[in-house]
Structure 1
Amino acid sequence: MSNLAGTLFGLLLGVQCLTELHGVFILFTNVTCESKDLSISVVEYCEVTSLGKTKNSVRLRYTMPKPVFKNIGFHFQLMTKGSESINGVSNWQPFLYGMNLDMCRFWKNRHNYLAKMVFELIEGHSNLNHSCPYSNEKFIAIDGITNTDISSKIRGIPLTKGSYALFTKWSTENITRVLTKFYFDVLSV
């Protein structure tokens, strides 16, 4: 191993150890929900609720006037806030590559490790937990997930202090139906 490679490996191992020891603490700053097709879904509520000085929760609900059966696509990408803004608007930049999933296939075998991690974050707080078809659901919801729940589940993931967002897009028949963006700050590592 070259000296530079050894130094980089040591640095990454050090960051990982610090994160393991201290954990990551996040605070939700916002959530936005947008329905692109009101015949498929309608935003019922979408909010961050304060539960104390350092504790808050996210809840959102999309009512589904007609059930979605199959061909459900999900795209997500973790973003970080750039240091510069353009015309006073924050410049969000990809932190990790974007990922596209066939949700019906994913729920059958949970084949994608990163997607599995994302869905484990909302486990117990959502009705997004079964394979296709989604024929009986009248809504899709995430309710009562707290920043402390998420912080404990992402312990050991090397995130530096700063502002982040998880941009998600749901589609059926390759047409975008819903956009949901979760914004949060990493306050300590």
Structure 2
Amino acid sequence: FNIVNLKCTVNKKISEFQINFKLLKRERGGWHPFLYDINVDMCDFFKRPYKFMVFTFFYKYAKDYTSMNHTCPYLPNVEIALLDWGINEKEILQKFPVEIGVYAIHTTWYTNKKSFLQINATIVYE
């Protein structure tokens, strides 16, 4: 069981905010796309989460641990955090069954169409 802690401070007003979210699976020849490669407009997501069903599924596991829970704008000097977050693998696998293997989650975060953060994780399911 792993715990994730992330903190960042916004240094200028953010009114445009997107996340590219993709799942990959390790197979012969390297990493290959697995099911999802989606772009989420986070400003729109917090206004209309029902439009982003896949991302909503994953976000619900982090929402109680993050301060990123409102629509744009994000103002300067505001801290955005994800603290003491752990993934309940059994619960996810009951709703999202996958075969044994090595998987990855890659996220790239953008503001004003410029990348400013990447968060990548590898998950080994045995």
RMSD (Å), alpha carbons: 1.8
Partner in structure 1 of residue 98 of structure 2:
159
Match of 2:55 in 1: 115
Assess if the C-alpha contact under 8 Å between 1:171 and 1:177 holds in 2. yes
Structure 2 residue ranges without an equivalent (≥5): none
Q: Which residue of 1, 15, 23 corresponds with 1:78?
A: 23
SS in 2 for 1:96: strand
Aligned-partner Cα distance in 2 for 1:56–1:167? 17
Alpha-carbon distance in structure 1 between the residues aligned to 2:44 and 2:18: 10
Secondary structure in 1 matching 2:44: helix
The superposition leaves residues 129-167 of structure 1 with CA deviations (integer Å, 9 ceiling, x where unpaired) of: 1111111553322221123x3532442212111111110
How far, CA to CA, are the matches of 2:60 and 2:95 in structure 1? 15
Structure with larger Rg = 1
Partner of 1:128: 68
Size of the aligned set, in residue pairs, is 125
Q: State the TM-score, normalized to the length of structure 2.
A: 0.87
Q: 1:122 to 1:151 in 2, by over 3 A?
A: farther
Superposed CA deviations along residues 60-110 of structure 1, whole A, max 9, x for unmatched, are: 22333x1342111111100111234xxxxxx21110231011111111010
* Alignment TM-score, normalising by the size of structure 1: 0.60
Summarize deviations over 1:7-35 as a string: whole Å, max 9, x none. Answer: xxxxxxxxxxxxxxxxxxxxxxxxxxxxx
